[in-house]
Amino acid sequence: MQNEYDVVVIGGGPAGLAAAIKSKELGLKVLLIENREFIGGIPIQCVHPGFGLHYFREDLTGTEFIYRLIKKFEEMNIDHYTNAHVLEILPYSYRHRILKVVTEKGILNIKAKAVIYATGARERHMFEIGITGHRVAGIYTAGEAQTMMDIYGIMPGKEIVIVGSGDVGLIMARRFTLEGAHVKAVIELMPYPGGLTRNVVQCLEDFGIPLYLSHAVTRIEGRKRVEKVIITKVDENLKPIPGTEEELECDTVVLAVGLVPYLKVIEKAGVIIDPATKGPVVNSYLETTVPGIFVAGNALVINDLVDYVVEQGEEAAVGAYEFVKNEGLPAMKWKKLVKGRNIRLVVPHYVSEAKDVMIYARVAKPEENVRLRFPEIGKEMKLPFVKPSEMIRIKLRKKDIAKAGDKITMEVVPNE
């Protein structure tokens, strides 16, 4: 392996594998760096179905989905390091950057024209959601519990309380129950479940697992191991109501309270972060504000579906290809995507009429019978409902983008 590449992909999950495969298909010299001992990322531990309906048009488990990508990656003989960690990305010239990488062979300096950052997300922990109490054994994030149970075959506990009713929390409730643990409750801060209705039905109702809405876990107690949690009702401002405390005995607390793009290395490289997505600000090639650094998958924005993650990986590869071919992305007129009524976040942040663009957005609050509108380009469509937990994915055509001036507003309005 030489230490000079057209593109270095950081992260060997679905976004990174898709980016590496597409880069190689486009004729780029590509290296992929993964920090676990194996490539594949999070889907390796997702043994439940619901993956790939868009991308492969089949309902696959996470494991089946990712092994299709891994197989392709391996067949293409793409250079890669596992057990390797990128310390920093240093500027070298406008066209090159240097990656300092810790590998089993020592610290390497790798020169790359473009970088695709696909490191995924980290899980939010108890301290970020105001849980106090004892730091005892038996507190896991959903991902940790899933790694133990579904890769290493070790049960994390017997009497389990799950914090958070997003799809991750719901799916974990079902997995624990199937494997013989007793899920005592799923605790949700909001007055509605965070995940899809179908998951509430097939993961909780199927097994009679209670869901506490408008409740928070405020304290974890125990001596060596978790012994109980204190749960409290919350008011409409999500503040705990004194006097409503209840105790739930359990030996394990599983935190499924959301993901945050994992950006440590590119933050240091100086990319600008969008406070709404908590991911980098990007243009329609998924290039960050540091030229030559591209981003895809959950490092860009927290996605609902692995299919979208793969799509973004491929898009970032196209961006990197344009960057390498033209020694920098060609100058173009960027138009800002502006968040209008009931839009909480949208990526990419800037689009141009050079190509069709897939955009991904989330609403701020649930609404029924609405229209999604882009007033500047005269595009609109009816939607039966919108929810924060369901990403809106829609393609903007270049001929439509051309109609706009310097901005395109996206908004959700009631359907009158």
Partner 1 sequence: MSETKKFKLTCIICPLGCTIEVVMEGDKIISVTGCTCPRGEEYAVQEVTEPKRVVMSVVKVKGGMFPTVSVKTDKPVPKKLIPEIMKKLVDVEVEAPVHVGQVIIENILNTGANIVATRPA
By CB under 8 A, name the binding residues for partner 1.
38, 44, 47-49, 60-61, 63-64, 67, 149-153, 175, 178-180, 196-198, 200-202, 205-206, 384, 390
How far CA 55 is from CA of 60, 66, 212, 309, 314, in Å, comes to 10, 12, 35, 10, 12
Return the exposure string of 75-100: e unless at least 16 CB atoms fall within 10 Å of the residue's CB, then b: eeebebbeebebeebeeeeeeebbbe
Of 55 and 294, nearer to partner 1 (C-beta) is: 55
Of 198 and 365, nearer to partner 1 (C-beta) is: 198
Instruction: Answer whether the bond into residue 291 is a cis peptide, omega within 30°.
Output: no
CB of 144 to partner 1, least distance (A): 16
CB of 64 to partner 1, least distance (A): 5
Of 49 and 340, nearer to partner 1 (C-beta) is: 49
Of 43 and 120, nearer to partner 1 (C-beta) is: 43
Of 148 and 276, nearer to partner 1 (C-beta) is: 148
How far CA 2 is from CA of 115, 139, 157, 204, in Å, comes to 16, 44, 47, 52
Torsion region of 46: left, alpha or beta (phi above 0 gives left; psi -120 to 50 gives alpha): beta
Residues 300-304: contacts with CB under 8 Å, at least 24 apart: 300/15, 300/261, 300/347, 301/261, 301/277, 301/345, 301/347, 301/360, 302/121, 302/258, 302/259, 302/260, 302/261, 302/277, 303/360, 303/391, 304/167, 304/389, 304/390, 304/391
The whole-angstrom separation of Cα 279 and Cα 300 is 5
CB of 148 to partner 1, least distance (A): 10
Of 198 and 407, nearer to partner 1 (C-beta) is: 198
The DSSP symbol for 203 reads I
> H or E element: which one contains 320?
helix 306-326
Of 242 and 384, nearer to partner 1 (C-beta) is: 384
CB of 160 to partner 1, least distance (A): 16
